[in-house]
């Protein structure tokens, strides 16, 4: 399995992925799930992939040469696309091409065609854009209301993103939040594992040097792993315990509500439930 997250902010983009793949408890491997397509000064694009590794690797290879027909009939690739919308259309076409080549054989072997990608970046003259691409090659785009996408084991790392990330979040803070999100996932799911790839892109730069591979010896991630659990424990312990009965003096748990009554407890075997 895997966990990847892409975040679109006013200040730029943040991408993070783990590197664990497994086909069973005794077949665990490490593969990079982040690909960077960069032409400094002209375009900067990142793809994160989750799902069947053979499918995503095929899509990666085809994407670099895949073409679609532009409005004027000229071939469009990710390297000459005039917009990120056209670039993600090329990616969607690459996914469908792999499905046409391998889909029937995979189905015959009882394997689902399962591949999901996060694809984002910026082309000169256009604003940054971020997309989530499905197995059918169709896609949706991030908005100000939904400014991040996750693929893979998303549920464990989602709560902190929902609470912390807004379009105005600074890049460094968003990178920290992505690391906390990943740590929460690593803590709860063994199918996600180190090393991690983290990339931060500043708006309108059309290139980046802020990319790092994080292993178990990385001092900042070690700090995140220790501090996050400690701070959560402190916050948890600072919240009052529930108070039962009429003797509650501050914030009672049991209150009268017109919406419902508490569950009735049966004290007599012959008593009828009302």
Share of the chain above pLDDT 70, in %: 93
- What's the gap between Cα 199 and its chain centre? 13
Q: Cα separations (Å) of 101 from 33, 93, 121, 141?
A: 22, 12, 28, 27
| pLDDT of amino acid 130 | 98
pLDDT value at residue 271: 62
Check residue 273 and give its pLDDT. Answer: 59
Nearest in space to 17 (alpha carbons), one of 37, 32, 38: 32
Q: What is the mean pLDDT of residues 197-224?
A: 97
Residue 9 has pLDDT above 80, yes or no: yes
Q: Which residue ranges make up each domain of the chain?
A: 3-216
For position 247, what pLDDT does the model report? 65
What percentage of the chain reaches a pLDDT higher than 90? 81
* pLDDT given for residue 249 in this prediction: 65
Q: Tell me how far apart the terminal alpha carbons of the chain are, to the nearest angstrom.
A: 49
pLDDT of residue 107: 96
Pairwise CA distance, residues 121 & 130, whole Å:
7
pLDDT score, position 129:
98
Q: With 70 as the cut, is the pLDDT of residue 184 above it?
A: yes
Please report the pLDDT score of residue 24 as a whole number: 59
Is pLDDT of 183 > 70? Answer: yes
pLDDT digits (tens, 9 = 90+) for 113-124: 999 999 999 999
pLDDT at residue 230, as a whole number: 96
Taking the whole predicted model, whether its pTM rises above 0.95 is answered as no
Q: Tens of pLDDT along 137-170?
A: 999 999 999 999 999 999 999 999 999 999 999 9
Give the position of tokens 């968003």. Answer: 174
Q: CA-to-CA distance for 80 and 126, rounded, in angstroms? A: 14
Q: What is the mean pLDDT of the chain?
A: 92
CATH code for 3-216? 3.60.20.10
């Amino acid at each position: 399995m895997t966990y990847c997250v892409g975040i679109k902010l006013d200040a730029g983009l943040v991408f993070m992925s783990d590197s664990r793949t497994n086909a069973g408890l005794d077949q665990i491997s490490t593969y990079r799930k982040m690909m960077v397509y960069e032409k400094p000064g002209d375009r900067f694009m990142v793809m994160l992939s989750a799902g069947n590794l053979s499918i995503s690797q095929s899509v990666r290879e085809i994407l670099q040469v895949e073409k679609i027909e532009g409005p004027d009939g000229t071939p469009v690739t990710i390297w000459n696309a005039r917009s990120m919308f056209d670039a993600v259309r090329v990616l969607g076409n690459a996914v469908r091409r792999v499905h046409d080549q391998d889909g029937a054989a995979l189905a015959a072997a009882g394997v689902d065609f399962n591949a999901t990608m996060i694809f984002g970046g910026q082309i000169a003259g256009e604003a940054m854009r971020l997309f989530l691409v499905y197995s059918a090659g169709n896609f949706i785009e991030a908005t100000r209301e939904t400014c991040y996408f996750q693929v893979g084991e998303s549920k464990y790392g989602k709560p902190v993103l929902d609470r912390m990330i807004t379009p105005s979040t600074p890049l460094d803070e968003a990178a920290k939040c992505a690391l906390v999100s990943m740590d929460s996932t690593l803590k709860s799911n063994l199918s996600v594992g180190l090393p991690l790839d983290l990339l931060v892109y500043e708006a309108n730069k059309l290139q980046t040097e802020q990319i790092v591979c994080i292993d178990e010896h990385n001092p900042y991630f070690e700090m995140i792993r220790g501090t996050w659990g400690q701070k959560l424990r402190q916050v948890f312990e600072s919240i009052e315990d529930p108070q039962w009965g009429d003797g509650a003096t501050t914030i009672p748990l049991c209150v009268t509500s017109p919406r419902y009554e508490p569950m009735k407890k049966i004290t007599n075997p012959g008593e009828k439930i009302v």
